[in-house]
Structure 1
Amino acid sequence: MRAARLISLVLLLQSRGTMTAGELARELEVSERTVYRDVEALSSAGVPVYADQGRNGGYRLVGGYRTRLTGLSREEAEALFLSGLPGPAGEMGLGDAVAAAELKVLAALPASLRDAPARAGQRFHLDAPGWFGDAETPPLLPDVARAVWRDETVVLRYRKDREVARTVDPYGLVLKNGTWYLVGRVGGQPRTYRVDRVAAVEKTGTVFERDEAFDLAGHWAEQAAAFVRSMLREEAAVRLSPAGMRLLRFAVEPYAAERAAESAGEADDRGWRTTVLPVESLKVAASQLMRLGAEVEVLGPPALRARMADAAARLAALYAV
C-alpha cells in the first residue's frame, strides 16, 4: 500500500510541478504528516524531491527526474485519454485503476502534450445508456468483471422464468444501450447473459484456458445481427414517399430498413417506391409504420393494411372538424 502511494506521490509531482503538503495529502487521501514521512522516504531512496519554502512554496522534483513517452503524437495522446471510459470502468470496479493509469501516462508525457486529457474531455463524452433506459448498475457487475479479468470459471445463478445455475467460462463483457451483457462459454458453446439478471456469482477456484482466437467484438456483431434477423419473421409490401424512404430507418430496425432500401423498385412519377419490408409481426409493424404517417402506404398483407386503415379512420374521427 505504501509503495503504491509513494509512486503516486512522485507521479503527481511529475505531472503538476510544485504541490504543497496539503494538496498532496488531499490527492492521496492521507494526513500531511504522512506526506512528510513519504517525502523523507523518497529522499532517502535517492528521488530528488526538493522543498521550496515560503508562501508559494511546496514540493517539486529537481534534476530532470522524469520518464518520457517518446514517439507519441498529439493525436495519439488525445486518443489514449478517450479510451479509458470512466463511467463503464467505474461500474466494473476499475475506476481507481483507470485513474491511476491516466496519472502515470500523464506524468510521462512531455510538456507539449500535457493538455491532451483536457482537450479530449472538452471535445468528446460517451453517454452509453439510452434516453429512456434504466442506467442502474447491476450489483454483481464487479464480481463478473473480476472473473472475466482473471479467466476464472464461475457458477452463475441466473434468473429467467425461474432461477437456474450455469457453470460459465466468462470471456467478455459488452455494454449495449446502458445494459451489460456477459459473453461466456457453457459446455464449449458461446452463451450470452444479461448481468442484471445474475442473482449470484460463485467461485469455482478453476482458471479456464481462453481461446485466444475468440473475437469478442466480432462475435457480438454476428450475434446481434442474427438476433435481429430471427425476430423479423414476416414481410410487408409497402409504398414509400421520398420522405418515407429517408425516415424509415428511424421507425424500424436498421437491418430492416437496409433490406427495404436494397429491394426497393424504381421511383414513380411522384418519387414513391415500392419495396418489401421485413417485420417482427403485424402488430409491431403497424405500430412502427404509423410513425411515418402519410408517407407510407401498406399494400399487403391484407391484415396489416386493414390495421393501418382502422388506425387512420380513428385518427380522422379524432381530428374531424
Structure 2
Amino acid sequence: MRAARLIRMALLVQSNPGLTAAALARELDVSERTVIRDAQALQEAGVPVRSERGRTGGYHLAPGYRTRLTTLRPSEAETLFLSGLPSALRDLGLSDAADTARLKLTATLLPSVRAAAEASVRRFHLDAPAWFREPSAPELLPELARAVWSDRIVELSYARPGRDGSPASAVSRVVEPYGLVLKAGTWYAVARLRDRADDTAGKGGEPGGGWRTYRVDRVTALAPAPGGQDVFVRDAHFDLAAHWEERSYEFARALLRTTVTVRLTAWGLDRLPSVVDGAAVEDALASAGPPDDGGLVTLALPAESEDVAYDQLARLGADVEVLAPASLRTRFRERAGALAALYRPEAKEAAPGAAPGEAPGAEGQR
C-alpha cells in the first residue's frame, strides 16, 4: 500500500514540479504530515525529492533526474486497456486515433505485459446504452467535441423541451464548453454561460458561475461565438468528474417540472422505483402518508411532464390510481375504458371468427 503511494508521489512530482504538500495530500488522499514522511522515505531510497519554499516552491526532483518507475506492470496494462470505451470514441470521431495510440502503446510493452493487456480486451466489454434503446450519436457531437478539446467558445442553439406537452422552444446561448459526459447511452455537454463566467453566487436559484448541462441530442446548431471571441481560459481547478457527480442529481431534479398525485397498492408501491426515476421516487416516498384502511398509499410524485408520467405509471396497471391533475386522470380513464371494451367477454362472442384480441369498435382506440 505504502510502496504504491510512494511510486505515485514520485511520478506526481516528476510530472507536476512544484506541487505543495497540501496538493499532494489531496491527490494521494493522505495528510500533509504523511506527505512529508513519504518525501523523506523517497530521499532515503535514492529519489532526490526536495521541498522548496517561496512562490515557486513546492516539491521538485533534482534537475535532470527522471524516475525509472514508469514500467507498466501487467495489472496496470490491463486497467489501461480497459479504460477506453469504444462506442464513446466512435461517437466522438476518435476511434481511429485511439486504435493508433493503442498499437503504439502495445509496441512498447514487454511481451508478458502485452499479453495481459490483450487478454483484458478479450474478457471485458462495457456496453453503455440501456436495454431496448437504439444507440445513435448526435449529429453535432464530433463538432462539439472539437470545441471542448480546443477550449473554443461557441454559440449553442438547442431545443428546450416544453412543459406538460407544450411545444419545445428554440434557445441560443454563448457558452464555454468544458466537457462531455456519456450517461446511460445519452451524451451531455457541461458548459459555462459566457456572460456568467465570473458569477460566484448564481442568480435566480441557479448554481454560481453560470454552469449548465445540455443534452447533446437537443443541440440543433453550433456556430463560432459572435464578436470575434475565440477561445476561453479554462479554470485549472475544474474537475469534470467531480462536477458531474455533484450536479447530475440536481440536474435530474430540475427535470421534474410537474407533480402527480397518485394512490398505490402495496405492490404498486414496491414497483414504483422500477418505473420512475430515483430522484422522483425519493421525493414521492417522503410525501407519502400512512396506508388507508384498504392498504392504499397516497403520495405526490414529481414528473418531467404529464406525458412522461402517463408512460411511466401505465406500467403499474390497476395498482395505481391517478388522483390529480384532472387532465391526466381523464387520460387514464379513457385508456381504462378502451381496454375494458377491448377485453369484454361479450365482444368476442359477438364477433365469431375475429382475430385473437380483436373486438368491434376497438380499432380507433388502439
With the shorter chain as reference, the TM-score category is 0.5 to 0.7
2:313 corresponds to 1:289: yes
Query: Any conservation in 2 of the 1:264–1:276 contact (CA below 8 Å)?
Result: yes
1:232 positional shift: 2.8
The structure 2 residue matched to 1:202, chosen from 205, 224, 228, is 224
Mapped to 1, the partners of 2:87 and 2:216 lie a distance apart of 17
Matched to 1:209, the amino acid is: V
CA shift for structure 1 position 70: 3.7
Aligned to 1:168: 175
1:64-143 equivalences under 5 Å are 70=71, 72=73, 74=75, 76-113=76-113, 114-128=115-129, 131-133=132-134, 135-138=136-139, 140-143=140-143
Equivalent residue number for residue 320 of structure 1: 344
3-state DSSP of counterpart to 2:234: coil
- Contact 1:130 1:177 (8 Å CA) reproduced: no
| Residue type at the aligned position of 2:320 | V
Contact 1:154 1:168 in 2 (8 A): yes
**Ranges in structure 2 where 5+ consecutive residues have no aligned partner:** 1-67, 160-168, 198-209, 346-366
Deviation, structure 1 residue 214: 2.2
Check 1:92–1:313 CA distance in 2 against 1; reply closer, same or farther (3 A cut): closer
How much does 1:221 deviate? 4.6
Q: Where do residues 215-234 of structure 1 align in structure 2 (5 Å cutoff)?
A: 215-234=239-258
CA-based RMSD: 3.7
Residue 192 of structure 1: how far off its partner (Å): 4.0
Distance in 1 separating the partners of 2:158 and 2:305: 27
Instruction: Indicate if the aligned counterparts of 2:82 and 2:124 stay in contact, CA closer than 8 A.
Output: no
* Letter paired with 1:124: H
Question: Aligned runs of 1:172-321 on 2, under 5 Å?
Answer: 172-185=179-192, 186-187=194-195, 188=197, 189-195=210-216, 197-202=219-224, 206-265=230-289, 273-282=297-306, 284-300=308-324, 304-321=328-345
Decide whether aligned partners of structure 1 residues 68 and 94 sit closer, same or farther in structure 2, where only a CA change above 3 A counts. Answer: farther
Q: CA deviation at 1:237?
A: 3.7
The Cα shift of 1:83 comes to 1.2
Q: Which moved more, 1:195-204 or 1:236-245?
A: 195-204
Task: Work out whether residues 154 and 201 of structure 1, in 8 Å CA contact, stay in contact via their aligned partners in 2.
Answer: no
The one-letter amino acid of 1:173's match is L
| Alignment correspondent of 1:158 | 157
Q: Secondary structure at the match of 1:115?
A: helix
Task: Work out the CA distance in 2 between the residues paired with 1:112 and 1:281.
Answer: 55
> CA offsets, 1:177-206, max 9 Å, x none?
544333222221334445453534438684
Query: AA paired with 2:180?
Result: L
Whose strand fraction is larger, Structure 1's or Structure 2's? 1
Aligned residues: 251
Q: CA deviation at 1:71?
A: 6.1
Q: Distance in 2 between matches of 1:239 and 1:84?
A: 45
- Normalised by the length of structure 1, the TM-score is 0.62
Q: Per-residue displacement from partner, 1:267-291 (whole Å, max 9, x unpaired)?
A: 6798654433223455543443221
SS in 2 for 1:90: helix
Paired-residue identity, %: 45
